[in-house]
Structure 1
Amino acid sequence: MNKLSRIPIFVLLSVFYVSLFSFCYAAFEPIPIGARPAALGGAYTAVADDVYSTYYNPAGLSLIPRTEFTTQYSQMYMGLWDKSNLAYSFLGLAQPLKFKKDFGTIGFSMLVFNSGTYYKETTLAFSYGKNFRIGGVKKLDVGFTVKSLSIGYGQDDYTFDSLNNDGITSSLQTGTAKADSLFDKFGFNKSAVAYDFGFKYSLFTNYKIGFMAANINEPNIALDNTDESKLPRVYNLGFMHNAESFLLSIDLSSREMNKINDSRVSVGGEKFLPFGFGLRSSIIVGTNEFTNIAFGFGYKTTGLQLDYAMEYPISGIKGTMGNHKVSLILRFGPVMHLPEETGALQLALAKEQKATEAEHKALEAEQKTRLETEQKLAKKNQELEAANKEIGKLREKLEELLRRPVPVIPAPVEQAPVKTPPVGKTPAKAGTGVKTPVTPVITELPLTLSGNIERQYFDEYNAYRKTADKLVFSTRITKIQQIVAKYKGKKIDISSAQDEYKVLLEEQRNQQRMYIDSLTYYRKMVAKGIDNKSQSDLLKKIINRYEQFGIDVSEARKELNAVK
């Protein structure tokens, strides 16, 4: 084949894929990928629910229940008169992520378009999709894609002469191969990064809308790197109705190239047949009198899906046998989440799932409450253990006070009356030996008619003294108190009784302090939580111990009555 017969290839590329002066008008053309989407005319924005979501709408990845792998090869425009070999291939992988919770789905894909050795486009994509519940029902799917775009041109006589077409493919001076000025200046390869974003939303039962924005950043993939050579941003708006036995989808696609709008409307339908078979057909119309039709069929099981599609151009290229696509999807691995259901089944599933989630939340709340209770009990046990230790220390101190022996106070010594001279006599002067006249001594008369008050005091005191060490402390101190009170101020010597009373009073004060300490220890033990029996026993011991010393134990008795 001579070089001129090769020229139509580049004419075709300039129309559909490459313009060497703008290098992007038709580069990375949004062509249908996958046999099922192609048979639906590319009206897949709202339908996307498999591995091809990486291309049509990454939000659809969230609907994939298990790992999916696809491969596809397509021969484009078969039967062209110049035997042009236009083809593309596609590989895709989608993997749901679920570790106790649903973390969405990731996808990887590679799309390669080539025309023999003359031209090649490669798209590597990473996608992510995640589902969001609204009112407990799967309603919103969101996703994004990051794409690496690269183009390459062959290096031979045909590409070297593709612009000038003057037959000169080598330097006139050296005779060596020399590329056209554009290739010579910018090279034969270019790459860029692009971003896509999409979402799907369930309007009603079996009705969905989808949106996809491709090439959001409008990357420049042309060799000359001019602003006019940017990839246009592409917007796709889709609508889908998914009934029990058929599916209907509509897509509106729009992009603007050099201020010229290019829009297309795709309408596709699918009929579900028994045993996993399905029939599909579609029509695409757009600006510049663009019209395409497509049809296809497929077979689907739980682990495999095989599809075929044929696209036929009504306008534009003539004398072609159309585009033929065959794609294979393999599904394997564990089911990470349930596939999307439709109609009443979806609502019932959502209701059941909501009830399950409520049950799980209730169980989690119960477990949380149980854990909090166990923690409180552990803390309470620690506090109780600390309280028991404290009670033990307090009890030991209280018992030590109560175990102290009752002090033994010996009987007081006998007090003898003071001797005085007989009435009417005076003592003789020492050494004189001479008796002097006695001057009568006038003394006070007794306060009582029974005799000398002093004698009465001595009698009472000595009678007390003889039995003092046998008396109960409270009786003993009461009696000596009465004797002191009776004879105090009578101008007689009652020092022995007063000394006895002071000794007893000091001991009573000491016992009073011990009583207060004992009651304090007891009350601290009550605050730490001793039982009623222990309270009663301790109070009885306190009362019995200190009541014998004439201590006012009314507070202890009051608390004892309260315990009973």
Structure 2
Amino acid sequence: MKIMKTYNFKFQISDIIKKLAGAWESAFTGVKNGFSCFPHEIICGSTGVYLYGGKVYSSVFPARYHSFKAALRRITMNKKMNNILLVLAACILLPALSYAAFEPVAIGARPAAMGGAYTAIADDVYSVYYNPAGLSLVPRMEFTTQYSQLYTGLWDKSNLNYSFLGLAQPLMFKRDFGTVGLSVLNFTAGSLYRESTITLSYGRNFKIGGIRKLDVGFNVKSLTIGYGTDEYTYDSLNDDGITHSLQGGAARADSLFEKYGFSKSAVAIDIGVKYALFTNYKLGLMISNINEPGIAQDSTSDAKLPRMINLGFAHNGKGYLVSVDYMSRQVNKVSDSRISIAAEKLLPMGFGLRSSVALGSRELTNFAVGFGYQSSGLQIDYALEYPISGIKSTMGNHKVSLTLKFGPVMHVPEEAGALQVALEKEQKARAQTEVALAEKNKELEDARKEIMKLKGELEELLSRPVPVIPTPAEQKPAKAEKEAPAVKPAEPVFTQAGNIERQYLEEYNLYRKGASKLVFTERIGAIRQLVNKYKGKKIDVSSAEGEYKILLEEQKNQQRMYVDSLTYYRKMVAKGIDSKTQADLLKKIISRYEQFDIDVSEAKRELSNIK
């Protein structure tokens, strides 16, 4: 921690201030007044603020007057008068303290390059930090690690570091059960001070009108603050300005640490929401530390971690991304806010460029730039955060992060807002297709059963044996009519009718003898010709006509069967039988009914169309 004040030279009184911390329990351990650490050095500059965890804050020493006097006695004994005057001036002129532990810093090189404007963007493993609702968009397991050194190049060689490990795992067991995340964030200020945050996260998507629009998530955080056990927290001053080791011969911890220990733990809860407002536009909301846990070393002190609200807006375009984040909170009844504006340009081959500006209270003005590379299983990012106002003589914050993506894809990744809308439409269309497909499958199954039934009936018709028509009975000549007695005997006369009858009988009996050997077509053709030849000749052709009638009845019966067979065939075609089956059935129909002298030209025409 560094403290800056309105002087144009710098001096180091870390020994004095650190010893004063033993006397000013609530001022420099900060617990009884809601503070969590004590100053390390004073640097005279021109900003009137102090640095903690890489952030700029206003500060004050709410000293106890008797401790002040004891400290001054010790200063008188150990320092020159000019240093006493400088310390007094610093203590009198320092502004009011507005510090809170677990300060919001940009974690991850990509989000850092975008100024922390990630509330509405969050769609990867860093959702565990910025908005757990975004975990529902993580397509497969992701692991990330990040290291950053804050404000490198300060004159006092401060060693302020952040490290982060994060893991996200989608849960997909026949259906989507959301995504879980786990992260560990550590901040260290050398051996003087440390903060640790272990977070368990969960995020899930909820459909609105069958479309993925709403993402909801939450964090459960375990927070731990720790102080170093060194010469500045042991061997503290008593009210007379004398160390315990000089007074009693043994060093003792500061009374606050002696009573409450060197660490403090608490549990905090966050909730996050993301909503797809329009095509390519999203809103994000993150409320951190909802329960405002107490973080003071002294449990009787009313020092709480302030509730913080982040509201974000993001727009995904073709090859670019812009976002805006607004943060607000109350720290010791003092309003603290920040707004970040960021942009990202996607380049070919997986590269990307980012830049952002952050403005806020406490004279906060930061500029950040970064770049990264992303493939299907690997992402590497770098970011530089540079303070435009406040902290001087620094080379900024350098952050590098590595993300690995592995395992099967369980959620379809959301590359951009347009892709999300397309995905939603695809999912809706897929659901409709699945319903239609189920109905179609049912129809096909019904059709298959119907085809099998029709095919069975058709096969039964086609497999019926060809009827055997019995050979017609023999026809004998009709008896001659009794002639009236003639007056005179006459010569026998052979009439034309008698000759025709004899000729008919000869032809009929000839037909009858060979009928059993004729196919139906030949048989009905022969008897038809015989009937047509002798009908109306005034002879008895009843035998031929009877035979012809029997054959006609059988032909009509086969004609009905032919029509039924075509009907069955066409129903099967309507149900979707293949062309080979169609051709085979038509050939059987033609072969079966053509022998009965039936007109099968319609079946032949359909067969030719198939070929």
Shorter-normalised TM-score: what interval?
0.5 to 0.7
* Distance verdict in 2 for CA 1:366–1:87, change over 3 Å: same
- Residue of structure 2 in register with 1:236 after alignment: 310
Q: Which amino acid aligns with 1:4?
A: D
- Residue of structure 2 in register with 1:205 after alignment: 279
CA distance in 2, matches of 1:261, 1:163: 35
1:182-220 C-alpha deviation (Å, 9 max, x unpaired): 212221110000000000001111110100000000001
- Residue of structure 2 in register with 1:132 after alignment: 206
Aligned mate of 2:323, from 237, 249, 256: 249
Aligned mate of 1:108, from 182, 200, 216: 182
Aligned mate of 2:354, from 280, 287, 305: 280
Shift of 1:3: 5.7
Task: Please tell me whether the aligned partners of residues 16 and 26 of structure 1 are also in contact (alpha carbons under 8 angstroms).
Answer: no
Task: Please tell me whether the aligned partners of residues 94 and 107 of structure 1 are also in contact (alpha carbons under 8 angstroms).
Answer: yes
Q: Does 2:28 correspond to 1:28?
A: no
Counterparts of 1:92-491 in structure 2, within 5 Å, are 92-160=166-234, 169-226=243-300, 228-342=302-416, 344-361=418-435
CA distance in 1, matches of 2:358, 2:341: 7
RMSD: 3.1
Q: Which amino acid aligns with 2:371?
A: F
- Residue of structure 1 in register with 2:149 after alignment: 75
Shift of 1:334: 0.3
Task: Please tell me whether the aligned partners of residues 146 and 194 of structure 1 are also in contact (alpha carbons under 8 angstroms).
Answer: yes
Q: Does 2:134 correspond to 1:63?
A: no
* Distance verdict in 2 for CA 1:169–1:50, change over 3 Å: farther
CA distance in 2, matches of 1:54, 1:272: 24
Task: Please tell me whether the aligned partners of residues 98 and 334 of structure 2 are also in contact (alpha carbons under 8 angstroms).
Answer: no
Secondary structure of the equivalent of 2:233? helix
1:209-237 C-alpha deviation (Å, 9 max, x unpaired): 10000000000111023554100000000
Q: Does 2:116 correspond to 1:85?
A: no
* Distance verdict in 2 for CA 1:345–1:295, change over 3 Å: closer
Q: Which amino acid aligns with 1:16?
A: Y
Q: Which amino acid aligns with 1:179?
A: A
- Residue of structure 2 in register with 1:37 after alignment: 111
* Distance verdict in 2 for CA 1:247–1:343, change over 3 Å: closer
CA distance in 2, matches of 1:165, 1:359: 82
- Residue of structure 1 in register with 2:40 after alignment: 9
Task: Please tell me whether the aligned partners of residues 24 and 222 of structure 1 are also in contact (alpha carbons under 8 angstroms).
Answer: no
Structure 2 gap ranges (5+): 1-11, 19-38, 44-48, 63-95, 446-611
TM-score, structure 2 as length reference: 0.56
* Distance verdict in 2 for CA 1:212–1:248, change over 3 Å: same
Shift of 1:75: 0.6
CA distance in 2, matches of 1:185, 1:119: 18
Q: Which amino acid aligns with 2:157?
A: K
Task: Please tell me whether the aligned partners of residues 298 and 308 of structure 1 are also in contact (alpha carbons under 8 angstroms).
Answer: yes
Structure 1 gap ranges (5+): 372-564
Greater Cα radius of gyration, structure 1 or 2 = 1
* Distance verdict in 2 for CA 1:192–1:307, change over 3 Å: same
Secondary structure of the equivalent of 1:159? coil
CA distance in 1, matches of 2:237, 2:173: 56
Task: Please tell me whether the aligned partners of residues 14 and 26 of structure 1 are also in contact (alpha carbons under 8 angstroms).
Answer: no
1:516-555 C-alpha deviation (Å, 9 max, x unpaired): xxxxxxxxxxxxxxxxxxxxxxxxxxxxxxxxxxxxxxxx
Number of residue pairs aligned between Structure 1 and Structure 2? 371
Secondary structure of the equivalent of 1:37? helix
Task: Please tell me whether the aligned partners of residues 23 and 222 of structure 1 are also in contact (alpha carbons under 8 angstroms).
Answer: no
* Distance verdict in 2 for CA 1:34–1:93, change over 3 Å: same
TM-score, structure 1 as length reference: 0.61
Secondary structure of the equivalent of 2:420? helix
Instruction: Identify which range, 20-29 or 340-349, moves more after superposition.
Output: 20-29
CA distance in 2, matches of 1:165, 1:282: 50
Task: Please tell me whether the aligned partners of residues 117 and 325 of structure 2 are also in contact (alpha carbons under 8 angstroms).
Answer: yes
Task: Please tell me whether the aligned partners of residues 13 and 42 of structure 2 are also in contact (alpha carbons under 8 angstroms).
Answer: no
Q: Which amino acid aligns with 2:15?
A: L
Shift of 1:121: 0.5
Q: Which amino acid aligns with 2:222?
A: S
Task: Please tell me whether the aligned partners of residues 51 and 107 of structure 1 are also in contact (alpha carbons under 8 angstroms).
Answer: yes
Instruction: Identify which range, 360-369 or 95-104, moves more after superposition.
Output: 360-369
Q: Which amino acid aligns with 2:381?
A: D
Q: Which runs of 4+ in 1 moved over 4 A?
A: 5-8, 10-15, 17-24, 161-169, 361-371
CA distance in 1, matches of 2:400, 2:271: 27
Q: Which amino acid aligns with 2:310?
A: N
CA distance in 2, matches of 1:231, 1:368: 61
Task: Please tell me whether the aligned partners of residues 24 and 221 of structure 1 are also in contact (alpha carbons under 8 angstroms).
Answer: no
- Residue of structure 2 in register with 1:53 after alignment: 127
